[in-house]
A and B are shown apart, each in its own frame.
Chain A
């Protein structure tokens, strides 16, 4: 690693030095991964830059070359997690060429798989994000709005014109805090069992409660 013990160089297996931008990217990613891990384990408020540096096994100077502060670092963790999860869900929805309920079901399955695949990042993102303070507020609003946008593709069906404009945001907000509580109850492995219920709740505004229940089974 750059800045490592004197005399060592960043060398790839072929014997050529790694390009500085590759090293810098790798270091940045290690810091972000380390931050997600310690924040998930101990909580955002309890974690210091020293904890992140120790977890990432990286020099303190490297941290400040990448981030201005703990908050700056965590906001990058948050933004990357939000972008990744949104993309994963959006891809799952569009990959399924079936009906709207099936697209919603595929999207929720992908969301829960992503949470189970990386529980530390998911916990840092979902549980610790709101602990950051005012800097997270606009990001939280955008997150809910982005996911609501995916659900809004179900509009245009008979009866859906009667729905309030913000129905999808309300549904997504409820799903967010439902997952939040499942995570703080230390049940990450049981989260996938929530899938049929989450699908049903997500579908209620657009296709009605009865059809949502049938689609979720």
Chain B
């Protein structure tokens, strides 16, 4: 089996397992905020527990050329679409920039990437309130975002 084939096989196995797991923890949650919190908490738990797999998905894939790019884009597009479903709950969804969910996914990815390249840095669960604050602010406004910091303090 060629190196790109090995890469694709491992990626697909991990991607399917990850998305299945996220779907399972997100589905029972009553609101977008709770779904995001549950999905992020589970993602961070998986990253901390399966560091080699996380490194493969977040870091090694960046050096895997076209195969890595298309795999990352596919996974990101899936998560972006799930996140952006919150627009259905907004009174004026057109006031929220189109790239908001892309930016939120990018912020979560950045934290995971940096956790993988700097394993001695702060753990991911400790960064969840800040990420929830930014994500919630972007869709629901500052007051709602700040509640994420107060709740978790």
Q: Are B103 and A174 touching (Cβ within 8 A)?
A: yes
Q: Are B76 and A181 touching (Cβ within 8 A)?
A: yes
Residues of chain A with a CB closer than 8 A to B28's CB: none
Q: Are A131 and B149 touching (Cβ within 8 A)?
A: no
Category for how many chain B residues contact A: 35 or more
Residues of chain A with a CB closer than 8 A to B129's CB: 164
Q: Is there a chain A Cβ closer than 8 Å to B127's Cβ?
A: yes
Majority SS at the chain B contact face: helix
Contacting residue for B142 out of A130, A133, A208, CB 8 A: A208
Please provide the chain A residues from 151 to 184 with a CB less than 8 Å away from any CB of chain B in the complex: 159, 162, 164, 166-167, 170-171, 173-178, 180-181, 184
Whole-angstrom CA separation of A106 from B62 in the bound complex: 30
Residues of chain A with a CB closer than 8 A to B62's CB: 130-131
Q: Is there a chain A Cβ closer than 8 Å to B36's Cβ?
A: no
1/0 contact trace for B94-134 toward A, CB 8 Å? 01011110111011011101100110000000010111011
Q: Is there a chain B Cβ closer than 8 Å to A213's Cβ?
A: yes
Q: Are A175 and B134 touching (Cβ within 8 A)?
A: no
1/0 contact trace for B64-77 toward A, CB 8 Å? 01000100010010
Q: Are A194 and B99 touching (Cβ within 8 A)?
A: yes
Q: Are A46 and B111 touching (Cβ within 8 A)?
A: no
Count of residues in A whose CB is under 8 Å from the partner chain: 42
Q: Are B103 and A178 touching (Cβ within 8 A)?
A: yes
Residue of B nearest to A196 (CB): B97
Known: A176-B110, A178-B99. A208 touches B130 (CB 8 A): no
Q: Is there a chain A Cβ closer than 8 Å to B141's Cβ?
A: yes
Known: A162-B149, A164-B149, A209-B141. A204 touches B73 (CB 8 A): no
Q: Is there a chain A Cβ closer than 8 Å to B137's Cβ?
A: yes
Known: A45-B65, A197-B98. A184 touches B106 (CB 8 A): no
Binding site for A on B (CB under 8 A): 59, 62-63, 65, 69, 73, 76, 95, 97-100, 102-104, 106-107, 109-111, 113-114, 117-118, 127, 129-131, 133-134, 137-138, 140-142, 145-146, 149
Binding site for B on A (CB under 8 A): 43-46, 130-134, 137, 140-141, 144, 159, 162, 164, 166-167, 170-171, 173-178, 180-181, 184-185, 194, 196-197, 200-201, 204-205, 208-210, 213, 216
